[in-house]
Amino acid sequence: MLYIILVLFLKSLLFLHGKKMLYDKIKTKLFCINLCVILFKNDIMKRIHTTIRYFVLFFLLSVGVLHAQLINNLYFLDNSPQRHHYNPSFQPLNNFYFGFPVLGNTQSNYSTNIPTFKEMGFNSGHKLNIEADKTQFLSAMSKHEMYQIFTENQINLLDIGFRQNKNYWTFSINNNLNVLFNMPYSTFDVFFTGFQMTDGYSANLTNSKLHALSYTETAIGFSRSVNERFGFGVKMKLLFGNNYFTINTNQLEFNYSEYVTTALADIHVTRASALDLDDKFNLIKPKTFLNYFLPEGFGSALDFGVHFNPISNLTLSAAVTDLGLIRWRKLNTIDYQLDYQFDEDDASAWEEDHPDFIEVPMDSVVADMKNSFIVNRSELSEKSNNLNPKLNVSAEFGIMNNLMSFGLLSRSMFREQKLLHVLTTAFNIRPAEWVNLALSYSITNSNGSTFGLGANFRSGIFNFFLSADYIPFQYVKLNIHQFNPVIPSITFPLSYHSDKFNFALGFNFAI
């Protein structure tokens, strides 16, 4: 996944979108380079890439404001054996559970501050058309200079827990991936319209940024029910840093004036990863997939939580999670400098050396540009990277012998020196021992346009849960056939005005 994200970001850095560039005259169209040619050499792969690229963009347009991205519904699904990940004082109802690898607990969360379709002025149920609607897209996005995309992903590799009298012990191994993009408005302008080779045209992608972090978390948890009213828990985590990758574009500008194309770049890369970049800004993949999981750094973290029942049917709880850091020991930096120019004399000289060509091929221009990078590599001393600590505070009141309950959850996350907060209400139903349902609404983020739904089922020795917080009431439609006639006519619903998107699912053995 990290490799795919880096590929997409590297493409967005140059963003040489050639869909509209016929390249008829080298004097006016020398710099309309589609990066698909670099990484996707055949026509089929170009078409697949274009479809994926547009679908990902439209999907991100359907999720909104950046906030703490965690599955709120899972906090109140007390049948779920994975609940202790949110508050280590919560003990699973089962005496023993085993989380199946990958299926035991998989979560994915996405958020962005790109305007939603409603904020762009589209009507609910609108059928999106890439050509007809792009002017409205760009008009809405031109109101801000910089946009962000943030994603958190967690995959369970191993999760085991068992009861010992009033104590409960857990052991888990998870792999985590956090990615943050910063993209200026020009990125979207180039994405939709390509480079306009008109006199005076310029595109500025300065301050584009990618920060990707993946690590493996090994945790040992202990909780104790002191009595019927009070319990506490603590979880100690050993962290193995797998990949640290940042790309900062201090300068990235393209200009066209009087038949002369120029490009200036100052790109700084910091990495501690099996992934690398060569001197031509191409990704170098490791020899085997397992290399992605080799430790490049080490760290530790702590979770602790409590719950208290001051009166019958009322449960108060609080927890702090992911309080820790990773120290990277194998950091390297790569600095790319580019001062590129291609004018009429360059075009004439190339045509004289290649009489069999009537124009300069795109691959040749790409190769010439990539060969123009001035590259400096160096090693860095150790660097510490803090996790994103989270604070969860909740209250739940049960009625009808706890058949139903009402909950209030406050969740906060500290990221990049900003405190992000979500306040969620929940209505929980426990009609039978084998089923637990939770319906939620985020007061701070739903904007009257989404709701949350979680469900946990027990069948014999198996336990299954599925949860999502921001299920939209309204949608717009996207048919991917418009991207290429070769692709079947398939229409996807996209959220009309939701603030974010997340989901979680798990399949466990529990007795």
- Region 165-176 average pLDDT: 95
Residue 57 pLDDT greater than 60, yes or no: no
CA-closest candidate to residue 97, choices 156, 12, 180, 15 = 156
CA-closest candidate to residue 267, choices 379, 375, 380, 147 = 375
User: CA 139, CA 154: separation in Å to the nearest integer?
Assistant: 35
Residue 141 pLDDT greater than 90, yes or no: no
Task: Classify residue 152 by burial, with Cβ atoms within 10 Å: 0-12, 13-18, 19+.
Answer: buried
Residue 11 pLDDT greater than 80, yes or no: no
CB 105 within 8 A of CB 92: no
Cβ neighbour number for residue 222 with a 10 Å cutoff: 16
User: CA 74, CA 82: separation in Å to the nearest integer?
Assistant: 8
Q: How many domains does the chain have?
A: 1
Cβ neighbour number for residue 249 with a 10 Å cutoff: 21
Give the domain extent around 202: 2-510
Residue 364 — pLDDT band, cuts 50, 70, 90?
confident
Tens-place pLDDT, residues 116-130: 888 899 999 999 988
Predicted confidence at residue 257, as pLDDT, reads: 83
CB 411 within 8 A of CB 72: yes
The HSE-up count of residue 404 (CA atoms within 13 Å, CB side) is 6
Residue 352 — pLDDT band, cuts 50, 70, 90?
confident
- Region 242-262 average pLDDT: 88
Query: Residue 483 carries which DSSP code?
Result: G
AA identity, residue 456: N
Residue 93 pLDDT greater than 70, yes or no: yes
For the sheet with 127-128, list strands across it.
127-128, 475-479, 491-495
Average pLDDT, the chain: 82
User: CA 485, CA 349: separation in Å to the nearest integer?
Assistant: 39
Residue 375 pLDDT greater than 90, yes or no: yes
Residue 61 pLDDT greater than 50, yes or no: no
> Which position has the token pair 């990773």?
326
Distances (CA, A) of 113 to 52, 116, 118, 296: 21, 8, 13, 32
User: CA 67, CA 374: separation in Å to the nearest integer?
Assistant: 39
CA-closest candidate to residue 221, choices 208, 238, 244, 205 = 238
Max mean pLDDT among 233-247, 369-383, 476-490 falls in 233-247
Residue 36 pLDDT greater than 70, yes or no: no
Residue 304 pLDDT greater than 50, yes or no: yes
Lowest mean pLDDT among 117-131, 334-348, 495-509: 495-509
Predicted confidence at residue 445, as pLDDT, reads: 67
CATH number at residue 166: 2.40.160
> Which position has the token pair 């060509």?
357
Which string of DSSP letters, residue by residue, matches 64-126?
--------SGGGG-TT-TTGGGT-TTPPPSSSEEEEPTEEEEEEEEEEE-SPPTTTTTPPTT-
User: CA 324, CA 495: separation in Å to the nearest integer?
Assistant: 35
Lowest mean pLDDT among 320-324, 333-337, 390-394, 440-444: 440-444
Residue 220 — pLDDT band, cuts 50, 70, 90?
very high
CA-closest candidate to residue 67, choices 427, 397, 445, 441 = 445
Predicted confidence at residue 18, as pLDDT, reads: 34
What is the length of the chain? 511
Residue 37 — pLDDT band, cuts 50, 70, 90?
very low
- Region 436-448 average pLDDT: 81
